[in-house]
Amino acid sequence: MITSDVTRRRTIATSFLLAMAMTTIGGSALAAGNQLRTPQKKRTSTIARAATGQVRPALAEAPLDGTLIRSKAANQVRQVGFLDGCTNGCGPVCDCCDSGPSCGMESSCGIEAGCGFEPGCGFDNGCGVESCQSCGPPTCGMESYLGEPACGMEMYGDCSCDACCGPNSIPVCLPLLRINWCRFQFFAGVQGFKGPMNFANTTAANPNSRSGSGSFGFYEGLNEGRSLKRWLGWDMAAQLGFRATQSNLSGAEFTDETRNQVFVTGGLFRRVDYGLQYGLVFDYLNDDWWYQGRMTQLRGEVSWKTADCHGFGFQFMSGLGDDSSDTFVRNSAGVLTRSTINFEPTDQYRLFYRRLLAGSGDWTAFGGWTDRSDTILGAGMNLPLRQKLMLSLGSTYLIPNQDSTNFGNREENWNISMGLVYRPGGPMGCGRYCRPLFDVADNGTFMVNQK
């Protein structure tokens, strides 16, 4: 009886162990089977999907959580102090690399120590371009020579050429300007515009008799920005640029002259990741057509930038004086008429909204008024096409105040432009904080009115 009970217990235990083993083996086999049956997801590029017909119905929208302006190293943004207390002068959101001449505003690049005009490089220590190994090859450089080659304008040393040249050489120690191209933006495109200066008085007996048409042509120029924190000790940057235009290439109704303009813009600004952002620039315009005009204005911006890619603010353009010019125009009979005109910049006041895009792009919409109670509407976009190429679009329309003008549509003012912007330094270029805040002035931001 006892032996039978023991045998029965052993049989039950053995059956339980066999059942557990079968369950384990069966589960493993089932999992393996599932893995064999489940297709592995393959990551394919957008180009590969498009080639096989798998095209997205719409592009993904830019995120609204601020990730466009956040660093991968630290999920945070900072308003100020982006160069304080950080390795290599790089804060958590300054988009910098550790070293190398292709960086933007970081140490070893830009205006800071290491390259450019800084101590140890540029016009400072040494004789010639650089005196540090990171800025050029350790050779005598571009030398002029007398009796022996490769001597004269040394790039290193203290202008004693005996170290690498013969005793009969004549040292020529001249500085060679080193340009950091990543600071620049180069642009070119087409434009169409019209304003009061497109109309001329062709009848001396009637000053209110004016004729004219719009202008169409081309533009090109450059814009540059650089950080001033190392010099001023606080978060400021500077920009300088110019724009040249060629319009009315076949003349106009009253003149055979081509219209040539030169705009120059320079000033200070402060970019931030979020918070208060501001800047002030000085604009100069030289307008050479049936008249000769030279005018200046101040242009400023004060805005609030949120951490989720939005910006709101106020812009103004204020003229710094008027100008006058003698003119010669031809009437319908072909007779030249001489007169004198007076003109001045139009003061503008704008409220705007700006939306940041990936790749340092943005689009802006604005509305405002002028000192003559005119209404201003407009929009603009900087759309990155590739890392170093961007499409720039802009439009401005001034609706004249009909109660205060005697010339109707001749007081209307508008500007439309389309062009490409090439950025040698890519989206960050000079750096997040020293990319130019203002575009170089054009016929939309620098409007002129006849008095």
Say what the pLDDT of residue 392 is.
97
Return the closest-CA partner of residue 360 out of 379, 387, 378: 387
Residues 384-440 pLDDT 10s = 998 899 999 999 999 998 775 566 778 899 999 999 999 998 877 777 788 999 999
Say what the pLDDT of residue 100 is.
34
Say what the pLDDT of residue 114 is.
31
Return the ∠ at Cα 43 (arms to 39 and 46), rounded to 5°.
Answer: 135
SS3 13: helix
Calculated CA dihedral for residues 424, 428, 430, 432, nearest 10 degrees: 170
Return the closest-CA partner of residue 359 out of 303, 425, 305: 425
Sequence-distant (≥ 6) Cβ neighbours of residue 444 within 8 angstroms: 193, 378, 394, 395, 396, 415, 417
pLDDT beneath 70: ranges in the chain: 1-177, 204-208, 404-407
Alpha-carbon distances of 29 from 21, 25, 348, rounded to whole Å:
12, 6, 76
Question: Which residues share a beta bridge with 344?
Answer: 449
How far is C-alpha 201 from the chain's CA centre? Answer: 40
Cβ contact 304:276 at 8 Å: yes
Cβ contact 275:296 at 8 Å: no
Say what the pLDDT of residue 232 is.
86
The pTM of this model reads 0.66
Across 158-194, b (16+ Cβ under 10 Å) vs e yields eeebeebbeeebebbeeeeebebebbbbbbbbebbbb
Alpha-carbon distances of 137 from 98, 111, 129, 142, 429, rounded to whole Å:
21, 20, 11, 11, 25
Sequence-distant (≥ 6) Cβ neighbours of residue 352 within 8 angstroms: 303, 312, 313, 314, 315, 364, 365, 366, 367
Delineate the domains of the chain, giving CATH numbers in brackets.
182-450 (2.40.160)
